[in-house]
Structure 1
Amino acid sequence: MKSLDLTIRLEWAVVAVVAVVFYGSAGMSWWLFAALILAPDLSMLGYLAGARVGAIAYNAFHILIVPVPLLLVGHLSGHVVAVAVALIWIAHIAIDRALGYGLKLPSGFKDTHLGRIGR
């Protein structure tokens, strides 16, 4: 593993830990965490419609564009469920990146912006 790759993975691992620690401090149910931690991966069902649609669906649920604003809005409005969902979502994305799973390219599921899975 290259030094930069390791640094990026460690960075995402830190984000995952921070999201989980904040989730724990919010006092939400760990059952909710367990139930939702893999929910973004349901987007892989998009691959049933082909690689291009699959990549779009997968990427839509594996970017921070929605969960970070959701976290902010939930925090500012005092909506603890929104905060919990956002933190679980962010943790999922961060864990994926720490494990080397990137955003999908339309050429195939194993082709990501971080390189080919299983190289």
Structure 2
Amino acid sequence: MSTVATPARTRGSRRTLTVVRRTAWLAGALFWSAFAVLEAVNHGWLAGALALVFFVLPDLTFLVALDEAPRMEKGQLAPRAVPYYNALHRAAVPLALVVAYTFGPVAWPPAFAALCGWLAHISYDRAFGYGLRTKEGFQRG
């Protein structure tokens, strides 16, 4: 009996892991979206507006190198925009800010709503298979 996995079994395991991982990200996305809406309902239009702005903001990083867009391959982000894109698509940053908000002296609900919107964006991206970019601007494997 061999302990070496066959390639087909390995691919099946990877697919299963991918489905589980994306499902977990989708659950997180729905959680953060609901939390952002709750904050908007409880704290007014400013909380809702900031949640929406921070939900959209991470994808606006392509504007950093809009002039390079015609020369890029399909699915490629301009290398000049990659550091900005990756910085705004790391979940650790808004999660750390949520923790700091929770235990810190700042108590401004619109800021928390913005963080919820930001985390929702990152979570939806991961759930749908979009992650960080390589330095050349392509999706990481």
TM-score, normalization by structure 1? 0.78
Q: Relative CO higher for 1 or 2, CA cutoff 8 Å, sep ≥ 6? A: 2
Distance 2:18 2:87 in 1: 23
Distance 1:35 1:53 in 2: 23
Residue 33 of structure 2 corresponds to residue 20 of structure 1: yes
Distance 1:20 1:95 in 2: 10
1:67-113 CA-partner distances (Å, limit 9, x unpaired): 112212223332212211111000000001111111011223xx222
Corresponding position of 1:10: 23
Q: CA RMSD in A?
A: 2.3
Structure whose residues are more often strand by fraction: 1
Distance 1:72 1:101 in 2: 25
Q: Counterparts of 1:38-57 in structure 2 under 5 Å?
A: 38-48=56-66, 51-57=78-84
Residue 55 of structure 2 corresponds to residue 37 of structure 1: yes
Distance 1:14 1:35 in 2: 21
Structure whose residues are more often helix by fraction: 2
Distance 1:44 1:14 in 2: 27
Quick one: structure 1 residues 24 and 47, their matched pair in 2 at CA, closer, same or farther if it must change by over 3 Å? same
Distance 1:101 1:88 in 2: 17
Among 105, 108, 112, which residue is 1:79 paired with? 108
The higher radius of gyration belongs to 2
Q: Which moved more, 1:42-51 or 1:65-74?
A: 42-51
Distance 2:101 2:114 in 1: 9
Quick one: structure 1 residues 47 and 11, their matched pair in 2 at CA, closer, same or farther if it must change by over 3 Å? farther
For this pair of structures, how many residues does the alignment match? 112
Quick one: structure 1 residues 79 and 73, their matched pair in 2 at CA, closer, same or farther if it must change by over 3 Å? farther
Return 5+ residue gaps in structure 2 as ranges: 1-13, 69-77
TM-score, normalization by structure 2? 0.67
Distance 1:74 1:83 in 2: 7
Distance 2:93 2:59 in 1: 15
Return 5+ residue gaps in structure 1 as ranges: none
Q: Which moved more, 1:67-76 or 1:47-56?
A: 47-56
